Structure formats: C-alpha cells, structure tokens
Amino acid sequence: MEADFVIVGAGSAGCAMACRLSEAGASVLVIEHGGSDAGPFIRMPGALSYPMNMKIYDWGYRSEPEPHLGGRRLATPRGKVIGGSSSINGMVYVRGHACDYDTWADMGADGWSYADVLPYFKRMENWHDSGHGGDPAWRGTDGPLHVSRGKRDNPLTRAFVEAGQQAGYPVTDDYNGERQEGFGPMEATIWQGRRWSAAEAYLKPALRRPNCDLIRAFAQRVVISAGRATGVEVLRGGRTEVIRARREVILAASSINSPKLLMLSGIGPAAHLAQHGIPVIADRPGVGQNLQDHMELYIQMAATQPVSLFKYWNLFGKARVGAQWLLTKTGPGASNQFESAAFIRSSAGIRYPDIQYHFLPIAVRYDGKAAAEGHGFQAHVGPMRSKSRGAVTLASADPKAPPRIVFNYMSHEDDWRDFRACIRLTREIFAQDAFKPFAGHEIQPGAAVQSDDALNQFIREHAESAYHPCGTARMGRADDPMAVVDPEARVIGVEGLRLADSSVFPQITNGNLNGPSIMVGEKAADHILGRAPLAPANDRPWIHPNWETVQR
C-alpha cells in the first residue's frame, strides 16, 4: 500500500488533485472514509435537502453551544462520501469576488491574488451559457467541472431580479464574470439534470487510470519520521495499517477534519497537544484557529397565487417529480431551485459586495420542513465578511472522537448591525412592484419585528450556518507564526506534507465555497508537481465607481 502521493479526503480539493497528479503520471492513492455517491438523493439536484441530513453521507458534526446565539448547537455538515461536501451541498457555484483573492495576497498568500487564481478558475470550468448572457471571455469552456444555469421559468425567480432593479441595484449577467455586484441568474454544478460533483468531474476520470486508486479507510494520523511525513496511519476493516507516500502526503479532509488530523499528528498549538498527551512535532499555534463561516437567515413571504413549488410538497407531488427526474432527468428535480441570486453592498463606503442572496420560490427550511402556510417564497440572506472567529480543537486524543467546534458566531458587534441591514434591505426588495402580484404577508420574521432589539432576538433564534466553514489552517508566509501552510500549500515545519482545501483560506470568500475549494486543489497540484503556475490574467473586475458615497 504505497504511492508517490497519498491524499486524505475525496472532497472538492482532493478529487481535483488526484486527477491532476495522476494525469501527470504520478501514482496516487486517495483515502476516503465515506462510501458511494450512487444514490438518487445525491444525484438528483432537487433532493438536495436529503443528503446533508443523512448519517450515511455526513460526518454529523455539531458546534458546541454558541454563546451569542442563546447556547444553540448548530449543525455542521461535512460530506462523508465520495466527492465530499460537493456531493451533499446546494450545488451553487460562486468563484468569489476578485477583491477576496487580492486580500489573500495582502495577508501573505503570495501568488494567490485574483490575477493568479483566475486562470485556474478558467482551467477547471466547462461553462454553459445556455443563451442567458454572461461573460464568455472571463469563463472556461473545456474544463472538467460543468457549470450551468437553471431555466428560470418560475415567475417568482424572475420577479426577484426585477425587484432588485426597481430598488435601484444593478443587474449582472454573470456574477462569476467581470461584475459580481447586482442581481442576476445563479450558477450551479449541475449538468444534464444531475449533480456534477468533484467526484464526477475529477475523481471518476482519475480512477480510470492505472496509477490512481481509492482506499476506503479512516485516517487516524500522519506518520512523521525525522521531521518528514512518510505515510498515513489508517483504520481499515478493524485493523490499523500504514499507507506509505514515496513523495508526499496531502491532507484535503475539510476545514474541520484537516486541522484535527494535523493535531493528532503532533502539528498544532503545543500547549493544546500536551493537554491531550500528544508529542509535539511542530508547534503551529494557528492550527484549528481562524475558523470562519457564513451565516444566513430566511426572509419568508406568503404568496397570494399558487405559483411556488409548494404544489409539489406532498407525497403525490414528490413522487411525480422523482419519477420524471428518474425517467428523463428533467422537471423540478433537475434543478436545485436556486436560480436567481444577488450580491450587494450593505452601505456606502464598502468597496465590494458584503451581502449575498439565494432566492428560492418556496418557503422551506434546509431540513426539508415547509412553511405550514402553503405557497410562499424566501430569500436566504447573510453578511459575507463576519469579523467573528472561532476554532476547531481536539476533544480527545482518540481519532474517533469528533473535534470540538466553536464558531463563536455573532461575537463581534458589527455582525449584528450587518444582519439587521440584511433584513431591512430584503424587506425593501420584497416591497417592490415586481412582487405586488405575488406577495402576501411576511411569514418570517413577521411585520411586527421592527426594532433593533426585536431583530436581534430574531437573529439570535433563527440565524443558521450556510455551511461554509474555512480558514483553520491558513496560508501565509513561512515566517508568520499563525500561518499553517506556505503559499505552495506546504505545512510549515514538516517536510513532505501539504494541505489543500478550504482550511487554507486566509479569509472567507464571497458566496459558496465549493468553487474556491476546487480551485485551491487545481492550483496546489501545480505547486506539488513543481510546475510554474499558470500566467496571471490581466482582466480588471468591475467595482462600483461611486462605492465610497452610494450603497447602490
């Protein structure tokens, strides 16, 4: 059991690296604890609320009681399946804003500015404009990752963009192109009516090569001898084995499991490791720190016409949708139903968007519980750059014990101000003429919830994770004491060990994190192979010319 490269985790970044490394002729073994992604709940985009609530596909992590959210423990789903979280996510595809990556570079991730990463986004994409406009020059069309747009044939989906325009916001044809700011169509990793996960895009083609294999096992720690990573200790079929790496071990096990594995291997904050009786190999105080996430609220409205997806929300309707999808890969089941989106700025003086909208033509929760009132619609809205920071730490030195996760959500005063702004701006959008034919009363928060105190109470009770954890092994310069990996994804202080997944993000990016995580895997593969990175791009993204003085 040995290969040139041993990758821990068949998720978004791990699949991309397995493909690129094996394509270059290296032998690759991918270790994944989860099982097959073959079920209809994963393949069918419309069934997205199921897999993330199924123990078979999810690690089942929860946060510790969150001190600023009344002690609530929040679900923290991470994919335990081939394809990782790209097999259980909402399939929304967002690159992030150009300024996000320029901020990374400013924070010490040299060579990861927007000009540096844009060529990798183009390399990975197979973008289908489907006649809805967009910025073809900014997009890739021959990569492995299919990116498409929904039909947008629901009148509510179109009304959302129209309402944004009526409220004075710009419209953007392509938030992944030159201009993120504005209202427009949402993009998804869906192709021919099926979820197009990192496993479909990268891992399955790689596994068809003789030099790439998948091993079903539970990784317990990295084996390090004389300061060099030489393999991974795994539990397989009840036995402990070591899978050896001739060249390098690469961790891509998620922003929750990657720092946990580092700490179990003796890489992390020395005092914390000592508490658990783990010998310290590299004292890296940043391991597990800098945990960030996006939170969101659902602003829900009742609909006065039967135009929402609620008509399918019964046994017969679900059976019909399921049957149509199984037979033809068409119909409501072929879409994640997030077909309109927006990125806006919460106030003047903010240079680029700090609020994201997912619009959904039904009033429903992530756990699949529909609003009792019937027809409705909702906007998922939340701030993009919370100043709150949490941590992933070990609960025990036993690899089987889940880690301790504290997001410390809403611990910064600005987060409350930003969330209140999200609610008030959303109400204004829903009050526009475009929604007049459809909008009934406000289901949630409810018209009576107006004062800052009342809104704060609603946020405390209802804010949820958007499931975008990142930042727990952040990238930076080798002399930065809080950095965990250098700009070539090498774990600082250990030879032959890399880490490439959303853990390395110095700061969270705008929007959903699957796209940026795959990009990290793509770019890290070039560093691992010792190749010169792709030539930087010169495209200049659009920034609102009057951002200093106007909000829209």
Q: How many CA atoms lie within 13 A of 176 on its CB side?
A: 29
In this structure, the chain runs to a length of 552
From the list 294, 358, 468, 544, the catalytic residue is 468
Indicate if 468 belongs to the active site. yes
Is residue 90 marked as binding? yes
User: Is 381 known to sit in a ligand binding site?
Assistant: no
The helix, strand and coil proportions of the chain, stated in percent and rounded to the nearest 5, come to 30, 25, 45
Q: Phi/psi of residue 439, each to 5°?
A: -85, 125
Token pair of 403 as six digits: 């880690």
485 is in an annotated binding site: no
Q: Which of 211, 244, 248 is nearest to 26 (CA)?
A: 211
Please count the helices (runs of H) and the strands (runs of E) in the chain: 13, 25
Q: Which two tokens stand for residue 146?
A: 């299919």
Task: Identify the CA nearest to 247 among candidates 30, 493, 6.
Answer: 6
Give dist(CA 520, CA 525) in Å, integer.
8
Please give the backbone phi and psi of residue 237, each rounded to the nearest 5 degrees, phi first: 55, 35
Pairing of strands 376-383, 355-360: antiparallel
What is the Cα–Cα distance from 422 to 382, expressed in whole angstroms? Answer: 6
Say how far residue 34 (Cα) sits from the centre of its chain. 19
CB of 438 within 8 A of CB of 377? yes
CB 144 within 8 A of CB 191: no
The span from the CA of 113 to the CA of 147, in Å, is 23
What number of other Cβ atoms are within 10 A of residue 107's Cβ? Answer: 18
Active site residues: 468
In the annotated binding site for FAD, the residues are: 81, 89-92
In the annotated binding site, the residues are: 81, 89-92
